[in-house]
Amino acid sequence: MGRVTRLVAVVAMGIVVLAGCQRDEPRSQTPAAAAPAPQEVNPGTLAAGARVSAPKGEVVLTMSGAIGTRNQGKKLALDIASLERMRTVRMETSEPFLKRKVTFEGVLLSDLLTVAGVPDSATKVNMIALDDYKVDFTVADVRSSQMMLATKADGKRMPVDKAGPIRIVFPDSSGLGHNPDLWIWSVSTMRLS
């Protein structure tokens, strides 16, 4: 009987120790490292409500549909100089195709929608690349994210054969950015509805 008593005592002691480990004491948690916010490179001179002149250089983006700002009939045509007159930002992010960190510069898509006068009633952004590749986003996702329309990668302009002249990039913290199919490059048109 002594063996059974000792076994029961050991089991009981183990239960007490385990129960003590389960107390509701606050645990120290290391917060996840927040992704750095895009850094402003230039505050820009082109903001919401400002007149956007017709581009003098090569048009790299044409916006249409539910926009309030136009400079070419019912469309808003933008060249690189027009984009660079807006607030520009820089962010380092993991590029899914190159499999390395790249520092991009460009315009936050949310800022571009504001400059283009996209109304609150708009719900969809349809993007089409030079090769007719298409990607759709909700306006809510664009406005709440830090998606960027990049004009430079690692300090250099991007030629068409290197995913340029403009492309969509996402910060590492973006859930949308985990889908490489959404990283549309050589964007040429945006239609809002």
Q: What is the CATH number of the domain that holds 119?
A: 3.90.420.10
pTM for the full model?
0.80
Report if residue 20 sits inside a domain: no
**pLDDT tens digits along 86-119:** 999 999 999 999 999 999 999 999 999 999 999 9
Report if residue 9 sits inside a domain: no
Output the CA–CA distances (angstroms, integers) from residue 25 to 18, 20, 21, 31, 165, in the order listed: 14, 10, 9, 18, 55
**pLDDT tens digits along 16-75:** 444 444 444 444 344 445 556 789 999 999 988 889 999 999 999 999 999 999 999 999
Report if residue 14 sits inside a domain: no
What is the domain range of residue 91?
Answer: 37-192
Report if residue 149 sits inside a domain: yes
| 80 has pLDDT over 90 | yes
Residues 82, 55 contacting (CB under 8 angstroms): yes
Total domains, the chain: 1
